[in-house]
């Protein structure tokens, strides 16, 4: 892989957040340096400690945590990232990014960065196929954001439909390919 790729992994509030642990682990095993930003909603599904242990780095959660060094964290993380991967990417985070809403550490970091952004959507099929979500995805694609999935499969509601986050292997391959 050459120089260690710096991948910023954003984890949002979806049942698919448990897959972020495997994503972080595989990226580290393949030589990437992984930093994680979790939304508050993600913490309902997976703990920061799990992601810290698997990424071998501190997990960032709050916009206003005291920085370890004197720098604005979301700006320094944005500048150093070779890729920002958001997995899972909920309808909420997709909508915020499409509208330029910066109300948490993850959205501020993505907006401050010029690194490629890869989103792995995960949501109910009714949400994924809603015209607003479709419009938000199209808007993000138009400005250069990349997407992997979703795929058809068993959703949290038990239904077999589109909306399940892509497999970890596919996400990892896509992320490593896009990291500049």
> Residues with catalytic annotation?
157
- For residue 158, what are the contacts with CB-CB under 8 A and spacing of at least 6? none
Contact 90, 122 (CB under 8 A): yes
DSSP 2: -
Q: What's CA 107's distance to the chain center, in Å?
A: 10
Name every residue whose Cβ is closer than 8 Å to that of residue 133 and which is 6 or more positions away in sequence.
Answer: 91, 94, 95, 123, 127
Q: Which two tokens stand for residue 20?
A: 């972020």
Tokens for 177? 């390919």
| Rama region for 149: left / alpha / beta (φ>0; ψ in -120 to 50; rest) | left
Among 25, 26, 28, 23, smallest CA distance to 10 is for 23
């Amino acid at each position: 892989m050459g120089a260690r790729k710096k991948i910023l992994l954003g984890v949002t509030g979806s049942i698919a957040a448990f897959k972020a642990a495997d994503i972080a682990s595989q990226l580290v095993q393949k030589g990437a340096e992984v930093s994680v930003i979790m939304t508050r909603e993600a913490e309902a599904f997976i703990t920061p400690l799990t992601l810290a242990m698997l990424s071998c780095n501190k997990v960032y959660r709050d916009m206003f945590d005291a920085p370890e060094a004197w720098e604005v964290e979301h700006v320094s993380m944005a500048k150093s990232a070779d890729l920002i991967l958001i997995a899972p990417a909920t309808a909420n985070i997709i909508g915020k990014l499409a509208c330029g809403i910066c109300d948490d550490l993850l959205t501020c970091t993505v907006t401050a960065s010029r690194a490629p952004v890869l989103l792995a959507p995960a949501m109910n099929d009714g949400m994924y196929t809603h015209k607003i979500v479709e419009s938000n995805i199209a808007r993000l694609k138009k400005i250069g954001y990349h997407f992997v999935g979703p795929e058809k499969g068993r959703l949290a509601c038990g239904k077999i439909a589109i909306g399940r986050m892509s497999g970890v292997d596919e996400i990892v391959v896509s992320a490593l390919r896009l990291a500049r």
